[in-house]
């Protein structure tokens, strides 16, 4: 099924558009993170002790627009042809990439934060389009595989963006290469968006709400009226909270607890992304034509246990110098155990989110599907921003990585109980068919 989707025009242009776009987002974000933590060319950061907090805030700045603009994106995607909206959004992304280029030329953290926020706005408008197209172009049996590929592409983009961003910042004498990558990816993403087949508007008579806040509130109110969609949104959003918190804590975990350098950050992210890909693929194969909801509470339990394991390992590690490379880290038992726990957490995340989100897509009415996805994106953003804000405050108060991972693990075990309560033990054994 994976090969069939990747060679089909129903899916392939959207996949490559999403991959290039997410790669650009994460290249910018992670290049900024490396600039904050280690400085340009490895010369050292001038940010000082505020580095970990700024790294967390970078994630919040990117995701915050999802909370305000997802509803507008959902209305536009249902009112107009989704392929045309995708091409327009990606065209707007090109000048924003130009602003990011200026930020790197000037080595301005402030300009880069502004560009990151604008990239977040574009991504917020694009989210309902890409996930709204999937159920319209794919069969219910294909949704788990399609979602697995899209989620895999997203996390691959995180990995590739981190590697490229880290290398570019560490070795940059001039920012020319960084600038070229950002601009080329923006143009290529727009090109793939233009190749997405037109499917026509789902609700051509829909009125667009000019006030984004009003439309967001109305969208959430409508979603709360559908019990299984509302609970599904909370369940999916918890995955994104866990993922965002783990990724925001990784640089500090690597530098302060493991004593690793930028390359160890890349190693840990590689481990995490490979785990997500494995978990997503396993979830798609275990679905057998319909989303397998029994994997959702199992994935939550596994995520909780592995997060607690990471907390235990982080608590046992002595503060490091931030200079050890990947080989030195992997030569230690704790280093190997930590990477194994990260991989386990990521596999569990793939098992958890792929069937949960595919079920939400399948349950959504076709004429309002993009708006349902937009409402889920609003929930995702709310969870991520709230989680990131709490973590940032706790970091300012001096709370270390180990207790933060421990709290995340306990709360994720609670999320597994919420799944069973919301869908019931019988519900998670039932196939998630279309409404």
Identify the pLDDT of residue 434. 47
Q: What sign does the dihedral 234-294-299-356 (CA atoms) show?
A: negative
% of the chain beyond a pLDDT of 90 = 21
First to last CA, the chain: 23
Q: Lowest mean pLDDT of 42-46, 112-116, 286-290, 310-314, name the range.
A: 42-46
Identify the pLDDT of residue 66. 80
Identify the pLDDT of residue 41. 52
Taking only the tens place, the pLDDT of each residue in 17-39 is 988 988 888 888 777 776 666 65
DSSP for 7-28, written as a single string: T-TTTHHHHHHHHHHHHHHHHH
- CA-nearest of 327, 172, 342 to 264 is 327
Half-sphere exposure of 178 (CA within 13 A, CB side): 35
pLDDT top residue among 206 and 167: 206
DSSP for 30-43, written as a single string: HHHHHHHHH-GGGS
What mean pLDDT comes out for the span 343-352?
94
Residue 380, classified by CB atoms within 10 Å of its CB into exposed (0-12), middle (13-18) or buried (19+), is buried
For the chain, what is the mean pLDDT? 82
Assigned fold of 11-199+211-427: Growth Hormone; Chain: A; (1.20.1250)
What distance in Å separates the CA atoms of residue 314 and residue 273, rounded to the nearest whole number? 20
pTM, two decimal places: 0.74
Instruction: Locate all alpha helices (DSSP H) within 39-81, ordered by sequence.
Output: 51-79
Q: Which long-range contacts (CB under 8 A, 24 or more apart) does 294-298 make?
A: 294/428, 294/429, 295/351, 295/352, 295/354, 295/355, 296/235, 296/351, 296/352, 296/355, 296/356, 296/419, 296/423, 296/428, 297/416, 297/419, 297/420, 297/428, 298/348, 298/351, 298/352
Identify the pLDDT of residue 335. 79
- In degrees, rounded to 5, the angle at the alpha carbon of residue 41 between the alpha carbons of residues 36 and 42 is 65
């Amino acid at each position: 099924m994976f090969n069939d989707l990747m060679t089909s025009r129903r899916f392939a242009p959207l996949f490559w558009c999403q991959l290039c776009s997410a790669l650009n987002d994460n290249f910018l974000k992670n290049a900024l993170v490396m600039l904050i933590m280690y400085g340009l060319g490895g010369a050292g950061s001038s940010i000082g002790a505020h580095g970990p907090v700024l790294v967390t805030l970078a994630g919040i700045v990117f995701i915050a627009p999802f909370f305000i603009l997802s509803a507008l994106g959902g209305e536009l995607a249902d009112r107009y042809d989704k392929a045309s909206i995708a091409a327009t959004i990606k065209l707007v992304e090109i000048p924003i990439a130009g602003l990011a280029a200026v930020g790197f030329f000037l080595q301005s953290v402030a300009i880069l934060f502004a560009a990151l926020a604008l990239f977040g706005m574009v991504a917020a408008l694009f989210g309902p389009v890409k996930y709204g197209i999937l159920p319209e172009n794919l069969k219910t049996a294909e949704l788990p595989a399609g979602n697995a590929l899209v989620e895999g592409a997203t996390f691959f983009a995180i990995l590739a963006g981190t590697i490229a961003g880290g290398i570019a910042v560490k070795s940059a004498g001039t920012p020319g290469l960084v600038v070229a990558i950002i601009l080329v990816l923006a143009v290529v993403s727009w090109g793939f968006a233009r190749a997405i087949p037109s499917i026509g508007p789902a609700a051509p008579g829909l009125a667009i709400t000019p006030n984004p806040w009003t439309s967001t509130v109305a969208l959430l109110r409508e979603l709360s009226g559908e019990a299984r969609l509302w609970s599904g949104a909370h369940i999916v959003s918890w995955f994104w909270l866990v993922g965002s918190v783990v990724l925001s804590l990784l640089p500090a975990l690597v530098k302060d607890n493991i004593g690793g350098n930028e390359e160890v950050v890349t190693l840990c992210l590689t481990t995490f992304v490979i785990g997500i890909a494995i978990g997503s693929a396993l979830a798609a194969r275990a679905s057998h034509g319909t989303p397998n909801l029994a994997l959702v509470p199992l994935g939550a339990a596994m995520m909780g246990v592995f997060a607690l394991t990471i907390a235990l390992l982080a608590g046992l590690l002595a503060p490091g110098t931030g200079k050890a490379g990947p080989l030195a880290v992997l030569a230690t038992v704790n280093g190997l155990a930590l990477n194994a726990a990260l991989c386990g957490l990521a596999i569990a995340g793939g098992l958890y989110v792929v069937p949960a989100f595919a079920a939400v897509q399948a349950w959504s009415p076709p004429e309002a599907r993009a708006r349902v996805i937009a409402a889920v994106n609003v929930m995702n953003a709310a969870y991520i921003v709230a989680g990131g804000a709490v973590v940032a405050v706790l970091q300012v108060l001096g709370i270390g990585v180990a207790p933060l991972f421990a709290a995340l693990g306990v709360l994720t075990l609670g999320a597994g109980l919420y799944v069973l309560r919301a869908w019931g033990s019988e519900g998670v054994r039932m196939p998630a068919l279309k409404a």
